[in-house]
Amino acid sequence: MCASPSARTSEYAAEKGTSGAARETDHKIEELFRMMDVAGRGRLDKPELVEGMKYYNGISLKTETIVLLAGMYGSEATGGLTLEDFKRLHHTLMTWSSLFRRHDVDSQEYLLHHSLCSALHELGYKLDRTTTRSLTRKLGRQAKYIQEDAFVRICCLLRRLSTAFKKKDLNRQKNIQLSYYEVLHMALDSCF
């Protein structure tokens, strides 16, 4: 089961606080946002976001991963990320990156299967070995290990699928019945 989005939002609010360090971090995020907002519209569209985040804060991200991240926070109404959307995206990405680095105990810049399981469990995802091996095989290198970009992509997919599942699981039974088209829509909405 996924950790609740409200808990993550609360963590961000607590981090923002009124401390000087939090204000400085917010200022740096705002400055970065303005640099990436080439058109000066007050929102980042996909091309600006992709270009600005390829090597974001020491993390090498693929276009597909950036698009997944943007889909988690981007507003359909504006067609891009506002500054507040970008702050939430930044916080999530930094949380996931920190988690990845904590579980990369040998500083090899990848996670083996058991480390991936531990990291995902820490995020609240209790996945069986078959599922995590499948993730490693599909998104990992040589089907043996996961690099940081793939880890971020897995976190995006799991959060988006969990959110879609929760919307259907109104009674919180962890069991829902879906039609083929509902499964297809959940998968597509989670992946793009």
- CATH number reported for the structural domain that contains residue 137 in this entry: 1.10.238.10
Q: How many domains does the chain have?
A: 1
pLDDT tens digit string along 115-137?
Answer: 999 999 999 999 988 998 888 88
Nearest one of 162, 149, 160 to 188, comparing CA atoms: 160
| pLDDT tens digits, one per residue of 168-191 | 888 888 888 888 888 888 888 777
Residue 173 sits at φ, ψ, to 5 deg, of -90, -10
CA 114 to chain centre: 20
Q: What is the CA radius of gyration of the chain?
A: 17
Among residues 58, 55, 48, the alpha carbon closest in space to that of 86 is found at 48
The domain in which residue 72 lies consists of 5-191
pLDDT digits (tens, 9 = 90+) for 70-116: 888 876 555 689 999 999 999 999 999 999 999 998 888 999 888 99
